A and B are shown apart, each in its own frame.
Chain A
Amino acid sequence: MSAPTPRTMLDKIWDAHLVRGENAEAPAVLYVDLHLVHEVTSPQAFAELDARGLRVRRPDRTVATMDHSTSTAPRPSAVGERGAGKPSGLRAIATTAADEQIATLERNCRRHGISLYALGDERQGIVHVIGPELGLTQPGMTIVCGDSHTSTHGAFGALAFGIGSSEVGHVLATQCLLQRKPKSFAVRVEGRLSPGVTAKDLVLGLIAELGVGGATGHAIEYMGPAIEALDMEGRMTVCNMSIEAGARAGMVAPDETTCSYLAGRQFAPPAADLERAAAGWRELAGDPGARFDRQITFDASSLEPMVTFGTHPGMAIPIGGEIPMPWHLPDADTRLSFERALAYMGLAPGLPVLGHPVDVVFLGSCTNGRLSDLRAAASVLRERHIDPTTRMLVVPGSQRVKREAEAEGLDEVFRRAGAEWREPGCSMCIAMNGDRLPPGHYAVSTSNRNFEGRQGPGGRTFLASPLTAAASALAGRVADPRQWMD
């Protein structure tokens, strides 16, 4: 008898969720363990169910929150406190259309018996922040959401990916998706990150290497010492931005770091069952000798803080570097596109980004809106004041992040430094909630996309880490955080 074929983590999770395997004629019917829902991509899906007289198959596997179109303007102090109800005036939504969208989600969740962490609930927050912090996200699961940054949850050794609204309807109605298995892609990260260099810089460096569509069709399994050394929040940052290289998903094998993060969380296995669960989770790592469709090795040791200069996340350079000349680009259209991106940004080849004036600094988002991100930024800002010409928004990723940060006094650090301490939500990452970068203005942003107009029509984005964002707020210019760290 021959030994069983070594399997990747993707193989293991995929196989365990097959209602029907795929063949040449038909994709697999893949079972979904956890479906996260928010206000923007779900209304049309619920309407589809209504039109067909269908019910939500597993409300118990569906969890909703509101984050994209909700205002992050500071609200009366009662909001977000433990046990807070729904004080009047709480909605504070940017537009009547957004208000209607929020009301639609509330109505749909009520009708279908879906748990909703609405504004005013102490568990409300960005969908990819609350899933992990509530212990909903667990190793070995299949997790989907109508949001491309669902890849975040892969940090726990889950297969997690974004879907469109039609597929949201599919999962609501059947708890399943029709899927072709993605190709497997091993990304081994050797070495160790230097001081001042973070998970965000690692993933920006990686996207610059792979290209913005370089991992399309693949599920990445991150491995190696630099990944193992990251805490869960750093792993989430890396997995979160896998989609920016086009990857379907990003994953990290569960280990002690994963298990200790989950211990004690509301929906994680209770203490008595945790050891048994953890034993199963450790089995999820790829077997020695498992074959991948593709693999690369990446060195973390030589990385510097990274900053983007263009209009997609692959256009990134080390913070001390210069904007490259377009000569290396393969064809005229790509060169033209590169030049257009620089024209949009008001930049030119050969120039540094370091030292470029900055109007706004945005700290937050599903990429970098967690407690460790706020701590990192606060460590730079403590007992300092941001440049008077620069506006800094600090937007905790969830009510829980906000409470925990306030318990540590981080809100005071930010306020004293001259930054705004706001309510949780997607905020200026997506600019559909009132937080918007004015035309022509420059932002250093800890979010995930520097697309044209992403942070507001005509707005110009430099993506960077929380450390770099904080240093840039102090300088009023794009700054190297290592010059501001004690």
Chain B
Amino acid sequence: MSSRTSSFPPASEPVDAPHPRPAPLPPAGQGGTPPRTSPQSEGNWAGQPLRRVVGRTAVLAQPHIDTDRIIPARFLTTTVRGDLGRHLFADWRFDGDGRARPEFALNRPEAEGAVVLVTGDNFGCGSSREHAVWALRDFGFQAVVSTSFSDIFRQNALKNGLLPVAIDVVTHRRLLAAPGVEVEIDVAAAELRLADGSGTPFPLDPFARHCLLHGIDELGYLVAQDEAIARFERAR
């Protein structure tokens, strides 16, 4: 357990022990939020439990990759979340005539099937567009590893089961230098493990960790706060 996440839960606590507070999402029927049944192909990744990510990496080493890079604005004239993977990094992946650029990292054969994207510092800066996360998710990525993330991107990612994994510089360098390596990301332990068995911790908000492990979505949690919200409104 990283020192950054040491306050909760205590190291001795089983990782799946019930969350002390707040209570998980109430059973279906309470709060007006029945569990969603829509398939992930429509872009619904919230509320799916995520315990670990295991797989190979693809690497985009440059820092400050902004959300306009991840998905250019001209693809935002959509009213749904799904089917955005085909536009992921569109202007890097494809030339002006729509042909794949063979030199781009994600177009290389070794990137096929990668589930972890390793990137430079400050990933996801710029626009708040959640489409960036939907595109990464739809493309097949389940985690992004960097040294830092923009605030809004991090929040958007966590709401869609895309793990933002901010790690130390030394491990980051190793991963940047070795595209295609196998990694395991353990949500409960908030740890990224390499094939040699070495592990590196990453910060994961206890609430986000709990929501990921148990497939709790935040909207359901907030809707269940209705009484407290009404009380606040009356008291103003």
A residues adjacent to B (C-beta < 8 A): 19-20, 23-27, 29, 31, 40-41, 43-44, 47-48, 51-54, 57, 68-69, 95, 97-98, 100-101, 104, 146-148, 162-167, 169-170, 173-178, 180, 182, 212-213, 216-217, 243-244, 246, 248, 312, 333-334, 336-337, 340, 430-432, 439, 449, 451-454, 457-458
Contacts and interface: CB of A to CB of B under 8 A. Distances in A.
B72 to A, nearest CB: 6
Given A44-B79, A164-B159, A169 B21 contact: no
Nearest to B81: A44
B contacts with A: majority SS: loop
B151 A216 contact: yes
Interface string B99-133: 00000000000000000000011100111111101
Contacts of B33: 52, 54
Interface stretch (B50-58, B135-143, B184-192, B219-227): B219-227
Given A24-B8, A104-B79, A457-B91, A312 B125 contact: yes
Interface in B44-88: 46, 61-64, 66, 68-69, 72-74, 76-81
B68 A148 contact: no
B228 interface: yes
Given A44-B130, A432-B74, A213 B148 contact: yes
Contact of B72 (A19, A54, A165, A457): A457
Chain B's interface size range is 35 or more
Contacts of A439: 96
A25 B120 contact: no
B162 to A, nearest CB: 12
A248 B206 contact: no
A257 B177 CA distance: 53
A217 B151 contact: yes
Contacts of B232: 19, 31
Shortest 6 CB-CB contacts between residues of A and residues of B: A213-B122, A164-B130, A43-B79, A164-B156, A97-B77, A162-B128
B64 A212 contact: yes
Contacts of B225: 19-20, 29, 174, 176
A246 B125 contact: yes
A451 B68 contact: yes
A164 B77 contact: no
B222 A26 contact: no
7 contacts: A29-B229, A43-B80, A44-B130, A180-B205, A246-B122, A333-B176, A449-B126
Contacts of B182: none
A213 B125 contact: yes
Interface in B194-208: 205-207
Contacts of A457: 72, 91, 96
B178 interface: no
Contact of A53 (B32, B125, B228): B32
B75 to A, nearest CB: 8
Contacts of A248: 151
B193 interface: no
Given A54-B223, A175-B229, A165 B130 contact: yes
B3 interface: no
Interface string B208-236: 00100000001101110110110111000
B93 interface: no
Contact of A19 (B76, B150, B229): B229
Contacts of B127: 147-148, 449
A27 B207 CA distance: 7
Contacts of A340: 62
A431 B63 contact: no
Contacts of B15: none
B21 A26 contact: yes
Nearest to B206: A25
Contact of A26 (B7, B22, B32): B22
B39 interface: no
Given A52-B33, A246-B150, A337-B64, 20 more contacts: A25-B8, A29-B229, A47-B80, A52-B36, A101-B77, A148-B126, A164-B130, A166-B218, A167-B159, A173-B223, A174-B229, A175-B229, A216-B149, A216-B150, A243-B126, A334-B63, A430-B73, A432-B73, A453-B68, A458-B91
Contacts of B14: none
Given A25-B206, A41-B129, A54 B32 contact: yes
Contacts of B20: 25
Given A24-B7, A170-B222, A336 B77 contact: no
Given A20-B228, A176-B225, A212-B64, A166 B159 contact: yes
A430 B127 CA distance: 10
B79 A337 contact: no
A132 B62 CA distance: 37
B126 to A, nearest CB: 6
Contact of A101 (B61, B78, B229): B78
A178 B207 contact: yes
B165 to A, nearest CB: 16
Contact of B128 (A95, A146, A217): A146
Nearest to A172: B219
A147 B128 contact: yes
B69 A451 contact: yes
Interface string B153-181: 00110011000000000000000100000
A167 B218 CA distance: 9
Nearest to A168: B130
A100 B207 contact: no
A24 B20 CA distance: 11
